[in-house]
Structure formats: structure tokens, C-alpha cells
A and B are shown apart, each in its own frame.
Chain A
């Protein structure tokens, strides 16, 4: 009887996983374009995870909250610029729109950058000074993640603003840009929102890659990531590099927050960063943790795969796709796509 009910429930669960390849074929290019847009956002957030991991061997769980606070930052920025949830800005022309976007984005980036650096100072540096075990870092990271979430959830609403910031429900959306189709690619429509996202992301990605690979600062980061002691002997200040790493990750997350809110204006809420952070981390692992180009590639790949999965398996399984991909990567190629195989040492 038990076996029968188990079989029943398994078949019920299985039946909810529709396997619809036809829908994938029909909407392929739309899905791909959409996926690239989401993927760009994942990519920018993933760089933050991968940089901190490379330098500290630590998964900064609270990075998702850095992103979330970036969203609130740009929302505040827009409010300071005079925008309110009703009304759209596109009527004022492209140039002004871009100017407002940049300003709001800068405020968002400032907030998230400050959060990231604050995290390092308040939570991680004291632990490093005390030679804490790696487990302690992870526990602190998750603790800070939820502290930041709950701060926005319960404390921020006490600040008198109009409209109320924080709280249990998402902020009423401030729509900056009306998604209008600019052109089509193989029948898939490319809106101005998607264009802005992809172009901005490409610009930032190129900038970060240049920073890491061609500048002195980037060399410092790479050297500390490879061998902190040797870097120290070469005159590289480890603590300063760590702070800069967090800052870069935070700034990128702030930019990603702006782009995300353009696409999905109604998700500015205290839990808005959580799932996205997990997915971005999956993207970083997919591409090869510690590898910046890997994070970018992984983000794009994840965005696209997730979108495909949502039509092939059904929308309720969308978030599971990233998770399943992560498990597959961990099982078969833990170093990721662009990751290098370290020496055969097992110690």
C-alpha cells in the first residue's frame, strides 16, 4: 500500500514536468535574446562572487544582499531625482533618460559598493584577524545576509519616506523606460530595454576584464589570489587588495541592480536578491570559480539555459534549472568550463 502511494505520488510529480520541446523550437530566438539579457545580469553579479572567492577562498553569501541594497539604492536615487511610481520618463527623450539612468545607477552603485566594503570591515576582517576556521566565515556570511535582509524588511520602513521604503511587499514600480521594440533578430523582438542591458553589461564586462588583466591593480588582485605570501613579499598590500576586490564586486552588483530593475521593476523588495544571488553563484561555478571571464561566460550560459528550461520543463521548474546545473557541474567538472585542472595533489 505504501509502495502504491509512493508510485502514485511519483507519477503525479512527474506529470507536472511537461516536456515541451516544441515550445522551445518555436520560441528559440526570443528565449535566447531574453536569456542573454538575464544572463548579462547574472554575469555581472557572478563576477563579484568569483573575485572574492579567488582572493579569499570564501563564498560571500551576503553578495546577494549587496545586489538587493543596490536595487534600493537606485530606487532611492530615482526618488531623489523626483520620480514617483506613477509616470514614465521616456517622454523626455533618450538623452535625458540615459542621464537619469546613469545618475540613479551611480547612486545604486555607491550604496552597494559601500555595503560590500562595509561587510569586509565589519564581518570578515575581524575573523581573519582571529584566524578563524573557514566554517566561521561561511556562518558569518549567511548571518550578515539575513541581517541585511531583515534590516530592509523591518527597520527601513521606520524611516519616514514617501513612498515607504522596505517592508514586506515590493516597492511600487518606477518605470523608467517603456520597452519598445527596436528591431528583430530572426523574428525575435529586441526591445530598447534589452539593448540597454546588453550594451551596458558588455561595457562593464570589458572594463572589468581590462582591469583584471591589463592594469597594475588587476595584477595585484591576481597575485594575491594565487599566492598571498609571495604577493606580500612583492610589496602588495593584501588588505588593500581585498578591500578593492569587494568594492569592485559591489559596484558591479549595483550596476546589475539598475539593469535588473529596468527589466523587472517590481522586484525591489527585501528578498529580491536571494534567489538571484544563488543563481549568480551557480553561474560563477559553471564558468570556473575564480576566473572572471568564466563568471561572465557562466552568467550568459545560465541565463539562456534557464530560459530554455522554463518552457521545456514548465515555468515552475525554472529556478530548479540553475540548481540542477550546479549539481551536474559539481559532479562532472567541479573546476567549471574555463577552470583549470590543478595538479594531481590530493592533499
Chain B
């Protein structure tokens, strides 16, 4: 901060700065209104991207709007998984299971093919507000699933959690496939309801229906809805991050036993991380169900869990904005190359292979991902850190002779007053 050239080392005490640090310190120097300004402009650009449909960026083989909607849903998933893996350090390999539970809750409650639907009077779960009414239920039920899964397994080593969640993810799909009386098996549940907004004469079902094929088609509307949800979830997760909860999660991730000895109730916070992650996954599943309006077990294979993990790892474990970029990468790139064929196979099909390799390579060469986490974990972080930084810089500028007891810090403070 005292040296504006990022490539020249400031002093022996300060670490070398790279491009990322330069960007970050530029960002930190902006005032709040300036930061909001940049954020709003960037957000608007992102939101309008599928409407403008620029030729090079737009996906050729698939609908760009639908792809962006999928990106926003995966972004939600990535944020949720980031809480579990990136912040609390719990490896959840079956996250697709929570995604499935959320989707199935919505489908079971609103689809005409649902065995549950048929046996009760639907009340609020039919009609224009059905989908919205399902959302809290989806989140809560998925959260409960998280509690049920987490309580026995979070007490033991992290490796066991990984395989238990892996099994869970597969079991959910198997159950969805096999329990035909409950989930209609492989036939799936169609006709899932969605928010019926913007109805008009030529759009009797509203803008969110798959029937909407205008320039601003249903995909784009769902994209905007999911983006809104992403912002809301970011706010909540950000609040948690900059509080005792976020600090405890990072402490648990770094050294769980030391955290327990320093008074952190580790099991409680691990379970909370798990449940919050599950709830966010369920929310994303509910959005998916509404957008595609058809839910079947094939969409919830465990290999997708790996893809979600990839988004978090590529983006940067622990960085809630970085993982959104990771989500974009794993959704957009396969969609963009879907049209290109190699050896009779569409390039997009190779995404699992490619991203699996990327995962392995990243773990070896850049485990912190594209955007390492640098979140402040204190509520008043900004002011405190700015002030504390000035004290530190003053001390570094004039490191006095070693004071009593060989403590250079004490000496610096002496020096500053003389």
C-alpha cells in the first residue's frame, strides 16, 4: 500500500505482490460508493449478457439464455458447497443429493404425476404461487436431510464424511429411480409448476414457462431470478463469514483440535455449515425444477458432484465470489464447445474428463484456485484493518533498533514517539 508499483518489493518485511494483490489493493482503496458503482455496473452487464447475445460469446449449440440460467443455478450450488468445503473444510462429495432433494420436493408437491400430489388437496400448492410456496419447504426439508446425514458422520474423521456423502449422493439417485410409488421412477415428474408472472394473451402461462420463446425467453427470466437469489444468498453468507461463525469455520478448517481447545464448539458449527450448505443446494434444486419443469433421476448422477466440487476448487476454495467464476467456467465452456465435434463426439461431452483432470492438476499446482480467499472475518473489518494497517506501516517505515528483550516491535514503537 505504500508502494504503488506492484512488482517491486516494498521492503524486506512486506511480501512480494502479484497482479491479484495489485487488483485487490486497488479495490480496497476505492470508497464504498465507488465499489457499489462498479458492482452495479458489472452486475447489470452480466444480467444483460444473454439479452444482447454477442456473437462470439453466445453459445451456438444450446440456448444462451438457458445456459446462463444453468450458470446461475450452479453458482448457487457453488456458494453453498463453498460454505461446506471451502470454509469449514468438510469434503462433501454427494452435494448433488441435496440438489436432488430440493428439486424433488418441488416436483412432488406440484407435479400432476406425483403420487403425493394425487392423494391430497393441493391448496396453496396449485396455482400461480405454488412454486414460491415450495421454496421454503424445499430449503427446510433439505436442511433436515443435512442434519440427519451430518449428525452421525460429522463426529468422525473428515475422510469418512467424504465417502458417506458420496454414498448418500448415489443413494438419493437410486431411491429416486427405484421408489416408483413415490417418485415415479425413471419416468420422472413432469409439469412442475413455476411462478406464473407476466401472463398475457399470448403468454397464458407467464414468462417463466418453457412455452416462452421470445427474445427474452424463459431461460433469461429464470436467469434473472436465479441471479437475484445468488445476491440474496451472498448477503447472508457474507454476514456469516464476517462473524464468529465464519471465524470458527476457518479455525475448524485449519486446525480443528486447536479450535476445540480454544473454546469453539466444533461439532455444532460443522453441523451448521453442513445444514446451510444443504439448504442452499435445496434452493438451487427448487429453481432447477421450476425452470425445466420436469424432474427425473438422470439429472442427479454423482459425477455432477465432482463438477460442483470443481467449480469451487477452480474458483478458489473459501472465496464466495471466486466460486461463482468457477461455476461460470464449468457451465459456459462445455456449452460453448458443444457444437464442435471431435472424433464423432461433441466436445462438450468430454467435460467430466476435462474437469476431472483440471481438478487433479489444480490440486498439485495451484490448490488455492484462481481467486484465493482473503475474506475479512471481522464485522468491522474494513475500518479496523485500515487503521491497524497504518500502525503496522508506521512501524515498518521506521524499524528502530531492537528494544529491550530483542523485540523489534517494541523498538519500533519507541522509535515512533521520539
Q: Which chain A residues have a beta carbon within 8 Å of chain B's beta carbons?
A: 1-2, 4-5, 8-9, 12-13, 15-16, 57-59, 61, 122-123, 126-127, 130, 132-136, 138-140, 142-144, 146-147, 149-151, 153-155, 158, 274-275, 278, 281-282, 285, 316, 319-320, 322-323, 326-327, 330-331, 334, 346-347
Which residues of chain B have C-beta atoms less than 8 A from A61's C-beta? 162-163, 166
Query: Are A330 and B156 neighbours in the complex by a CB distance under 8 Å?
Result: yes
Query: Are B353 and A142 neighbours in the complex by a CB distance under 8 Å?
Result: no
Complex CA distance for A21 and B33, rounded to whole angstroms: 70
What are the 4 closest A-B residue pairs judged by CB atoms, nearest first? A143-B359, A316-B178, A150-B353, A147-B356
Query: Are A5 and B120 neighbours in the complex by a CB distance under 8 Å?
Result: yes
Complex CA distance for A158 and B341, rounded to whole angstroms: 13
Apart from the given pairs A2-B137, A16-B182, 14 other A-B contacts in the complex at a CB distance below 8 Å: A12-B182, A59-B159, A123-B360, A135-B158, A138-B158, A142-B93, A146-B306, A149-B303, A154-B350, A319-B170, A326-B163, A327-B153, A327-B164, A330-B156
Known contacts: A149-B303, A326-B167. The answer to whether A140 contacts B363 by CB under 8 A is yes
B313 interface residue per 8 A CB criterion: yes
Selected from A1, A126, A140, A151, the residue in CB contact (under 8 A) with B121 is A1
Query: Are B120 and A139 neighbours in the complex by a CB distance under 8 Å?
Result: no
Complex CA distance for A314 and B164, rounded to whole angstroms: 22
Complex CA distance for A61 and B137, rounded to whole angstroms: 34
Complex CA distance for A105 and B46, rounded to whole angstroms: 56
Selected from B156, B159, B257, the residue in CB contact (under 8 A) with A58 is B159
Query: Are A275 and B91 neighbours in the complex by a CB distance under 8 Å?
Result: no
Give the total of B residues in contact with A, Cβ under 8 Å: 56
Known contacts: A138-B162, A278-B163. The answer to whether A130 contacts B364 by CB under 8 A is yes
| Chain A at the B interface: SS class | helix
Query: Are B153 and A330 neighbours in the complex by a CB distance under 8 Å?
Result: yes
| Chain B at the A interface: SS class | helix
Q: Which chain B residues have a beta carbon within 8 Å of chain A's beta carbons?
A: 85, 89, 91, 93, 108-109, 115-116, 119-121, 123-124, 137, 152-153, 155-156, 158-160, 162-164, 166-168, 170-171, 174-175, 178-179, 181-182, 257, 261, 302-303, 306, 309-310, 313, 343, 345, 349-350, 352-353, 356-357, 359-360, 363-364, 367
Selected from A136, A275, A281, A285, the residue in CB contact (under 8 A) with B363 is A136
Which residues of chain A have C-beta atoms less than 8 A from B175's C-beta? 316, 320
Selected from A58, A139, A144, the residue in CB contact (under 8 A) with B91 is A139
Query: Are A136 and B367 neighbours in the complex by a CB distance under 8 Å?
Result: yes
Query: Are B181 and A143 neighbours in the complex by a CB distance under 8 Å?
Result: no
Which residues of chain B have C-beta atoms less than 8 A from A334's C-beta? 156, 160
Complex CA distance for A158 and B360, rounded to whole angstroms: 24
Query: Are A4 and B116 neighbours in the complex by a CB distance under 8 Å?
Result: no
